[in-house]
Structure 1
Amino acid sequence: MLRFPGHGRPEPDDIVIGPLDLPRHIDEALAVQAVAFGLGPDEVAVRRQIVLRHMTFPGARAFGATVGGRLAGFVYGMPNDRSHWWSTVVEPYLRARGHDDWLDDSFVITELHVHPRHQKHGIGRALITTITDGADQHRSLLSALDIESPARHLYRSLGYEDLARRVHFPSAPTPYAVMGAPLPLPRA
């Protein structure tokens, strides 16, 4: 467990990063994602099934950030498998840029969300570095909305670079960027 800013006994506003039993805390996590990403109830219902399925994949794991005992953010990911849906969608975009080899020996950050009330406190950085520190793979992949945003700034500060842009996922109206970084991720 990682505790900050205090290092002694927990204070009500301490941020605690640790393993998260995501299937058990799915509704709490999706509530954070809904607020952070602006999802409606129908989208949350679809994502609930996707997350529960993902957590059955080999090597899938999750970490959460709690503040005052409440979930303030979470991350989950898994070793990449070229047969997974995400890989089949992004592979042509990566291949066109000469980066399809990134689909091998990579740990994919599937979701990373921090409640807006708790953003800009280092939670996203702590979550992504914690989950990737435990990866056996030599690099990490993720997809993010292809817009300049605080999330993209965070990823770049951690060494992620654009591997493909204007990636279109079925049913997503906004294009995404696929980003990759060697592991371990640098520290600030």
Structure 2
Amino acid sequence: MTGPAGVRIEAIDLAAWAPQALDVQAVAFGLTPEEVMVRLHIVGRHAQQPGVIALGAVSGGRLVGFGYGMPNRRDHWWSTVIEPYLVARGHGAWLDDVFAVTELHVLPEFQGRGVGSALIRTLTARSGADRSILSAIDAETPARRLYRSLGYRDLARAVHFPNTERRYAVMGAPLPLRGAGGADVAQSAPANSR
């Protein structure tokens, strides 16, 4: 499918595309080479998960954005970290029967062009789920504004993932996602990263 700004949104083999995807994530999310190496193994494990959906945004033969997700399971590392935060706010049921957007990143020069919106809309539409959950840096960023414009709302804030100083917000939305507006920058937290 040809998306915004002449970018093609297409299904990718997550394991095969992992190095290129992590190159995009490193630029979009500011990862160190050491963090990229750790995440390469994590992405490889995620590629083997039942129901994983992975999409690439391709322009001129190169990957300029990507996103992937999977049906959430309570025994996933990410779920075990966010569960107490969700339960404390009365949102524990959001861990069940939901599609988790695991990663979503777009190169800076392609942000603001609808690429992130096209990726997340296509991912969630292909999921077959009735709702979606994700985590994002807990700050007023273009990514958070994009997610809100699509119907995501905060389920928990100030979530602390081990091995990071940043705090995250967990957001959920009914599917299908609603119309997008505003800036389109896609960055998500290390959802399901272990």
TM-score range, shorter chain: over 0.9
Contact 2:53 2:127 in 1 (8 A): no
Aligned residue for 2:31, secondary structure, equals: coil
Contact 1:17 1:126 in 2 (8 A): yes
Displacement, 1:186? 1.3
Give the alignment's TM-score, normalised by structure 2.
0.91
Corresponding residue of 1:97 = 89
1:131 and 2:130 are equivalent in the alignment: no
CA RMSD of aligned residues (A): 0.9
Q: Deviations over 1:69-124 (max 9, x none)?
A: 11000000000000100000000000000001011110000000000011100000
Q: Give the structure with higher Rg (CA).
A: 1
CA distance in 1 between counterparts of 2:47 and 2:36 reads 16
Corresponding residue of 1:148 = 140
CA distance in 1 between counterparts of 2:6 and 2:92 reads 41
Displacement, 1:4? 3.5
Aligned residue for 1:23, secondary structure, equals: helix
Contact 2:153 2:172 in 1 (8 A): yes
Displacement, 1:136? 2.2
Percent identity over the alignment? 61
CA distance in 2 between counterparts of 1:49 and 1:63 reads 19
Displacement, 1:43? 0.1
CA distance in 2 between counterparts of 1:174 and 1:81 reads 24
User: 1 or 2 for the larger relative contact order (CA 8 Å, sep ≥6)?
Assistant: 2
Contact 1:82 1:103 in 2 (8 A): yes
Corresponding residue of 1:35 = 27
Corresponding residue of 2:178 = 186
Q: Deviations over 1:49-70 (max 9, x none)?
A: 0011011111011000011111
1:47 and 2:39 are equivalent in the alignment: yes
Aligned residue for 2:2, secondary structure, equals: strand
Contact 1:14 1:68 in 2 (8 A): no
Give the alignment's TM-score, normalised by structure 1.
0.93
Q: Which letter does structure 2 place at the counterpart of 1:3?
A: T
Which of 18, 23, 27 is matched with 1:26 structurally?
18
Corresponding residue of 2:186 = none
Tell me the matched-pair count: 180
Aligned residue for 1:112, secondary structure, equals: strand
Contact 1:73 1:112 in 2 (8 A): yes
Q: Which letter does structure 2 place at the counterpart of 1:184?
A: P
Displacement, 1:32? 0.3
Displacement, 1:154? 0.4
Displacement, 1:187? 2.8
Moved over 6 A (4+): none
CA distance in 2 between counterparts of 1:60 and 1:135 reads 9
Q: Deviations over 1:5-30 (max 9, x none)?
A: 5xxxxxxx721001011211111110
Structure 1: gaps of 5 or more residues: 6-12
Corresponding residue of 1:3 = 2
Which of 107, 114, 117 is matched with 2:99 structurally?
107
